[in-house]
Structure 1
Amino acid sequence: MVLLNSSTVSVVLSSGVVCMFTFLLFLSGYVLQQQSVRSIQHALRTPASTPAARSFIPKNGVQDDTYGLQGDGRGDFSGLKDGGGSGQSVLADLESDGGKAYWAGGEGKGGSYAYLQLLSTPDPSNICSAILFFKNLAASGTAVQDRLFMYPQDWDVMTNPSERVSTALSLLRSASSKYNIWLLPIDMSLATKSGYGPTDSRLLRLGQIQFLQYDSVLYLRTPGLLLDGKKLDRFLLSRPLPMKHDKNRRESYHNEAWSPMPLRPDRATPLPPAYLIAVNNMGDHVEARTHVPNMAIPEFRGLVTGPDGGGVDIDIDDAERRPAYVFFEQDDDGHVRWKGNPLFGTWRAQQHEVCEGLDLEGD
């Protein structure tokens, strides 16, 4: 039999009280943590998980094995289900930007039109060029407020990316909050499991279902330089748009300003420099219509052009003759061609301003 003195009893009781309160503190912290996790999961719930978004998912089978659209630029997104993009992004890090994530199923500020840029490979210079585009767009006073950037969802889970890629993605994450860019990560497994590599056209093909809330989305190829955002608005909105096919609206099927051009992701050709996309819920399927501008229209000529003006006499210092957007051609290694490009120096200098600390010249 062991006799306990008063000091030993006091120590035992004190230890017991401390252990009990420690356990209660841990338990309460765990409960609060689980509540926070559930709240975050609810806030980040994808558009496809909501009843309204789920009603847009077509019910019939996969259209074909090439993910291509048919005929006059109309097609459907059969079989995409939730694969059209998760709707939120690891890039929009909760801790780094206060929990603000952008996605195409959001509040829809700015009406039913949007500007889009996309990349299928994480080239740091091209990512920076897209950031610069959205920065200039935000500063231009454009009437079209929605800005979309589409990329493969795999970017969010890359293991051991290079320092340049990691820096570029960090800058993109910060820019999404600063310039109100909606980041659209797209699940490309439907294509890659079928043996197809990532290309811009396949990324767009799998991601277009994100555009259901818009009347039209105007894609502009990056890399390039925005010179006049209000002119870009005029390019998009000055003429009737095709939008949904409607036999009672002539502009929907015979449009002088916009010519049908189907998206062919099965071909190794780049997307057009300017590409108009309209995606519509048709009840039993989803219709996608894709068009390019008719540059024979006088007010369109020279508004979206290469650095040589495409045969049109342009002057970047003249407000009347200045293009809205200039896209840059790239060589076989993916580098922007600087020869014959009078805007290369301006573009590079502005890139350095928005992507400070990023090595833009590296391979």
Structure 2
Amino acid sequence: MGRLLLSQGQVTVVLSSGLIALFTLLLFLAGYVHQQQTVTGLQTALKPRLPKPPPSIIEANQQPVQPPIQPSRILGSKNKNGGHVAFTDFSASTSDAAARVDWTRLAHVQVVRNHHDMCNAIMVLADLHRLKSPARRVLLFPQVWATEKKAGRGDASDPYLDISRRLMKVAARRYGVELRPISPFLQGAEAAGEDEMYSLASAFALTDFDRIMSIETAGLILDAEPLDAVLAFTEAAPFAMLHDTVDGDGIHLDDLFLLQPSKDVYHDLQQTLSDQQPFNDTLLTTAFPDPLLISTSSPDHTLIRSIGLLHGVEVPFNATAFLSDVSYIRFSDPKLPGPEFEVPWADKVAARPKNKDADWTWTKLYGEFEMKRMEVCGLGLEMWRD
């Protein structure tokens, strides 16, 4: 049998082909590994964040140390020992308790009563989406906005309706917000389109949820995890609100509501509040004889803090601490009408905190709100008219 002899050129071709095949295989394997790492990273980034449960859920025999109960400054005379206060330790260790929660039955809800409130409500829901809250996000709006047809040329129509509809579409598509139209809460009201006729009480009819939380706008959510923990792990009660103890801190009972939907409660509220004119959601605090009060703070965390506190700070002021241990900054500023308004420059300068460091934080927060308003809603500030 004759031997097959390869020429020098053929050997070169074989070696070159082998090297090309080897490097192609290595390049493929490197790309595959990088792809898997990228997919894993994306899955981690998109996975909802689960809040830490309080110690009472982790270890039933180890209750957190609770501060002395101070009476509510509004309900103190009605509730013995200051009322039934629910405490949450926001520094609790991790547990699989959060993984066992059915987050599809929990929701953060915002009620929009007029076009002016639309952007503020969507900004809160957008913050929850950005911070990967595992609970659902729901926007309640007047049903007439969904049924009213777009006016033709020359027809009289609501000039802001198209803007609100556009914002709702953006909220649904970009931030996973569920849009739900609601009827006026008090059916006997003469003017169904007025602000006070639409209420968070309508959320009691949403029986596809076990629990609903609503926070007052306007504001910025800095840390959604404690809000989710309160939503998921607060003890069962038909209605809960903030434990308001300090006068002048800018925080009020109706800044946060936590409720359990129930058709019976919904119908009872319609009968109880039907003669209350004018009606607003503050009246919900009087409709329940023994509401659960949610503690606004723990040794390590504050649930809601008012930007108005910056006007009364003392030297020295720790700006890092002011922003690092709080979930929600509420723009309840006694010196300005709201962060969504453009006020005259002289009035804004006069409203600035006297403390230099507090002024920097105050200016920073107002600037962040303005930028986020443009980012989320595509809207600039509104002109303020006295």
**What's the TM-score once normalised by structure 2's chain length?**
0.48
Q: How many Å separate the matches in 2 of 1:221 and 1:319?
A: 20
Report the CA distance shift for 1:230/1:359 in structure 2 as closer, same or farther (over 3 A).
same
Query: 1:348: how far off?
Result: 0.7
Q: Counterpart in 2 of 1:150? A: 140
Report the CA distance shift for 1:217/1:129 in structure 2 as closer, same or farther (over 3 A).
same
Query: 1:222: how far off?
Result: 1.5
Report the CA distance shift for 1:280/1:193 in structure 2 as closer, same or farther (over 3 A).
closer
Q: Which amino acid aligns with 1:226?
A: I
Report the CA distance shift for 1:128/1:258 in structure 2 as closer, same or farther (over 3 A).
closer
SS at match of 1:241: coil
Q: Counterpart in 2 of 1:131? A: 122
1:328-363 CA deviation, whole Å, 9 max, x = no partner?
Answer: 23789964476454411111111111222x343246
1:203 to 193, 199, 202: 199
Query: 1:299: how far off?
Result: 5.5
SS at match of 2:103: coil
Q: What is the count of residue pairs matched by the alignment? A: 231
Q: How many Å separate the matches in 2 of 1:220 and 1:292?
A: 15
Aligned 8 A contact 1:276 1:291 in 2: no
Q: How many Å separate the matches in 2 of 1:319 and 1:233?
A: 21
1 or 2, which has the higher helix percentage?
Answer: 2
Q: Counterpart in 1 of 2:274? A: none
Query: 1:202: how far off?
Result: 4.1
Aligned 8 A contact 1:275 1:293 in 2: no
Q: Counterpart in 2 of 1:219? A: 214
Q: Counterpart in 1 of 2:330? A: 327
Query: % of aligned pairs identical?
Result: 20
Q: Counterpart in 1 of 2:382? A: 361
Is 2:288 aligned against 1:293?
A: no
Q: Counterpart in 2 of 1:173? A: 169
Q: Which amino acid aligns with 1:161?
A: D
1:165-189 CA deviation, whole Å, 9 max, x = no partner?
Answer: 5224302212212211111211117
Report the CA distance shift for 1:362/1:154 in structure 2 as closer, same or farther (over 3 A).
farther
Q: Which amino acid aligns with 1:347?
A: F
Q: Which amino acid aligns with 2:326?
A: P
| Equivalent runs, 1:1-363 vs 2, <5 Å | 110-123=103-116, 126-143=117-134, 145-156=135-146, 157=148, 160-162=157-159, 165-188=161-184, 190-191=186-187, 193-194=189-190, 198-199=194-195, 202-205=198-201, 207-238=202-233, 240-244=234-238, 272-281=254-263, 291-295=292-296, 298=298, 302-309=302-309, 317=320, 321-329=324-332, 335-336=338-339, 339-340=351-352, 341-342=362-363, 343-356=365-378, 358-362=379-383
Aligned 8 A contact 2:242 2:257 in 1: no
Larger Rg: 2
Name structure 1 gaps, 5 residues minimum. Answer: 1-70, 73-108, 246-254, 261-269
Report the CA distance shift for 1:307/1:335 in structure 2 as closer, same or farther (over 3 A).
closer
Q: How many Å separate the matches in 1 of 2:113 and 2:186?
A: 15
Report the CA distance shift for 1:166/1:299 in structure 2 as closer, same or farther (over 3 A).
farther
Q: Which has the higher contact order (CA 8 A, sep 6+)?
A: 1
Q: How many Å separate the matches in 2 of 1:284 and 1:231?
A: 28
Q: Which amino acid aligns with 1:131?
A: I
Q: How many Å separate the matches in 2 of 1:121 and 1:170?
A: 14
Aligned 8 A contact 1:217 1:276 in 2: yes
Aligned 8 A contact 1:137 1:229 in 2: yes
Q: How many Å separate the matches in 2 of 1:214 and 1:312?
A: 41
Q: How many Å separate the matches in 1 of 2:219 and 2:266?
A: 39
**What's the TM-score once normalised by structure 1's chain length?**
0.51
Name structure 2 gaps, 5 residues minimum. Answer: 1-77, 80-101, 152-156, 245-251, 270-286, 342-347, 353-361
